[in-house]
């Protein structure tokens, strides 16, 4: 028997779209902590933007593309974790960043149900980043957001700069209503002392069993997902039937009625928003910032309500550095970041995640920004 301390600690980083997970991850990776972390990032949308936004991405980041981590959890995640375990000694800890749409329960479950993984790794804590400005709304319409709060051991109540003291009290009370146990830390730009979120030993199985009595029950979807109608289409865009999620996305969407959009994975409720879509656009070249910036500003006003998350990496005409564009609803942010590398094609990518996305219009308008 190995003791807990022999096992590699795993932090599951979750939180709704745009809450500040990547911001926290970059902080963790760039601080001089003297540790070596392996990072597993679960991408949403077909073209990899998330991985490109993580600093030091070259050596440490393992991508799980095209699929939702909570669906691929027993496939890709286990394979990546087992691969990492074989290289034990190289990593002090593992961080798994889930997409904003993932339900963390099945991810956490992996560490208890998969024997091989459970022998070598231990779930240290589920850390949830919550957006102080939007969480209250998402708790009303997005069951994943609620599950992310319910499963958290530590909650960063982030973006406190965007709300009044009164609103902050309100959202904190809502969080407490769902999860009275988690430690809540108020942050701006996910600024937190690392020892508040890493190596906490905070994951509390007994508490989770009180929320999800079926947490430890394995199910027959464990190693193959065939034929499992998952009823969600949040990443169906431009994916073939083999999007890697392992579920059939193109049949019977929303056909079965589930309570609150919950799906059974074993005995475990599994939440997915069935109306979420993503649109991924790419221009094989540069864009003109004098067209792009006015366009996104106008779009934020006209359609921002429907865009839960939009982000892009753009090659601006005549600019040596990559422009990283970020949006959460109508709040936009953009920065020139590192230089394009010599062997890197100067392409411009933009991803939208939201509801009622008019793909043809977005594509047409984005393409009109080409330089
Ligand atoms: N005003 C404000 N903006 C913030 C804060 N934290 C992060 N942001 C911005 O919010 C946007 C989203 O941050 P990310 O860290 O990319 O969020 P995320 O949770 O990784 O997003 P997804 O991976 O798309 O789910 C970026 O534009 C950040 O700069 C904050 O405390 N205040």
Q: Is 327 in the pocket of ligand 1 (CB under 6 A)?
A: no
**Cβ(17) to ligand 1 under 6 A?**
yes
17 Cα nearest atom in ligand 1:
25
* Binding site membership of 244 for ligand 1 (Cβ less than 6 Å): no
pTM of the entire predicted model: 0.69
CB atoms within 10 A of CB 141: 10
Ligand 1 geometric centre to CA of 159 (Å)? 8
Distance 364 CA to ligand 1 centre (A): 27
From first to last of the 371 residues of the chain, give the pLDDT tens digit.
444 557 888 898 999 989 999 899 888 888 777 777 888 876 554 445 555 555 544 435 565 544 555 555 556 677 778 877 777 566 788 888 887 777 777 777 777 777 788 888 888 888 999 999 999 999 998 888 988 998 888 999 999 999 999 999 999 999 988 888 789 999 999 999 988 888 777 676 666 666 667 766 665 443 333 333 333 333 333 333 333 333 333 323 333 333 334 444 444 444 455 566 778 889 999 999 999 999 999 999 999 888 877 888 899 999 999 998 878 788 888 888 889 989 889 999 888 877 888 999 999 999 999 99
Q: Which of 238, 261, 285 is CA-nearest to residue 44?
A: 238
* Burial call 240-269: b when 16+ CB within 10 Å, e when fewer: eeebbbbbbbeeebeeeebeebebebbebb
ipTM of predicted assembly, 2 dp: 0.97
Atom of ligand 1 nearest to the CA of 23: 15
Strand partners, 277: 354
Atom 29 (ligand 1) nearest CA: 333
């Amino acid at each position: 028997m190995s003791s807990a301390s022999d096992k590699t600690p795993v932090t599951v980083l979750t939180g709704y779209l745009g809450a500040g997970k990547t911001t926290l991850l970059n902080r963790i990776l760039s601080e001089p902590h003297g540790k070596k972390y392996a990072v597993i990032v679960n991408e949403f949308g077909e073209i990899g933007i998330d991985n490109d936004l993580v600093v030091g991405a070259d050596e440490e980041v393992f991508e799980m593309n095209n699929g939702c981590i909570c669906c691929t959890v027993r496939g890709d995640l286990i394979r990546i974790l087992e691969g990492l375990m074989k290289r034990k000694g190289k990593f002090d800890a593992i961080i798994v960043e889930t997409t904003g749409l993932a339900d963390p329960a099945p991810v956490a479950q992996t560490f208890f149900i998969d024997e091989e993984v459970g022998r070598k790794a231990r779930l240290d804590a589920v850390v949830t980043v919550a957006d102080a400005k939007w969480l209250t709304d998402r708790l009303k319409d997005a069951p994943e957001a609620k599950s992310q709060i319910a499963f958290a051991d530590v909650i960063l109540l982030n973006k406190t700069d965007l709300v009044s003291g009164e609103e902050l009290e309100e959202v904190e009370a809502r969080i407490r209503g769902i999860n009275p146990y988690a430690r809540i830390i108020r942050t701006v730009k996910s600024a937190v002392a690392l020892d508040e979120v890493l190596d906490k030993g905070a994951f509390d199985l007994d508490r989770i069993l009180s929320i999800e009595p079926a947490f430890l029950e394995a199910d027959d979807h464990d190693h193959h997902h065939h034929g499992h109608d998952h009823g969600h289409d949040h990443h169906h865009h431009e994916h073939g039937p083999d999007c890697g999620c392992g579920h059939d996305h193109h049949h019977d969407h929303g056909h079965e009625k589930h309570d609150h959009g919950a799906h059974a994975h074993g005995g475990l409720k599994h939440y997915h928003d069935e109306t979420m879509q993503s649109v991924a656009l790419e221009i094989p070249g540069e864009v003109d910032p004098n067209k792009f910036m006015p366009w996104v500003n106008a779009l934020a006003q006209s359609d921002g309500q429907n865009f839960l998350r939009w982000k892009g990496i753009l090659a601006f005409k005549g600019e040596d550095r990559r422009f990283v564009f970020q949006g959460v609803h109508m709040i936009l942010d953009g920065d020139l970041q590192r230089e394009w590398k010599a062997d890197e094609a100067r392409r411009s990518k933009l991803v939208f995640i939201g509801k009622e996305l008019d793909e043809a219009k977005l594509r047409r308008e984005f393409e009109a920004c080409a330089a």
